[in-house]
Chain A
Amino acid sequence: MTSVRFVFPKVRLAELIKTPGGLTVAEALERAQDNLDTLKPTCVAELTALLEFAEAALDRLDPAFDDAGLADLYAIAVRGIGAGAVCGLPAADEALGSLCDLVDHLRTGGAYDRAAVGVHVQSWRLLMNPDLPSEAARLMLDGLRKVSARYAA
Chain B
Amino acid sequence: MSDETDADAVDVRGRIDRLLDGDATLVLAVLGAIYLAYVLAGVAFGYGLRGQLNSIANLTFYIGVFGMLALALNLHWGYTGLFNIGIVGFMGIGVYVTALVSKPPVAQGGAAQVGGFGLPLGVGVVAGVVVAALFGLLVALPALRLRADYLAIVTVAFSEIVRFTMMSRTFQSYTVPDTIDLTVAGVQLFSFDPAADTVGLGGGGGLILNYPDPLEALLRTLFLWEPYLGFVGFVQRTLISNNPKPVIDGLVYGLLLLVGVGLFYLLLSRVGKSPFGRVLKAIREDEDVANALGKDTDRFKLTAFVLGSALMGLGGILWYSSRGSITPPSFRPNITFFIWIALIIGGAGSNTGSFLGGAIFAGLLYEGPRYMKNLIETAFELGDAPGNFGTAVAPMASLDPVPFVLYTLDSVSQLRLVIMGVVLVWLMHNRPEGLLGHRKETASSVDLSRPGGRDANDAAAADGGEKR
A-B complex is real:
no
Chain B interface residues (CB < 8 Å from chain A): none
Chain A interface residues (CB < 8 Å from chain B): none
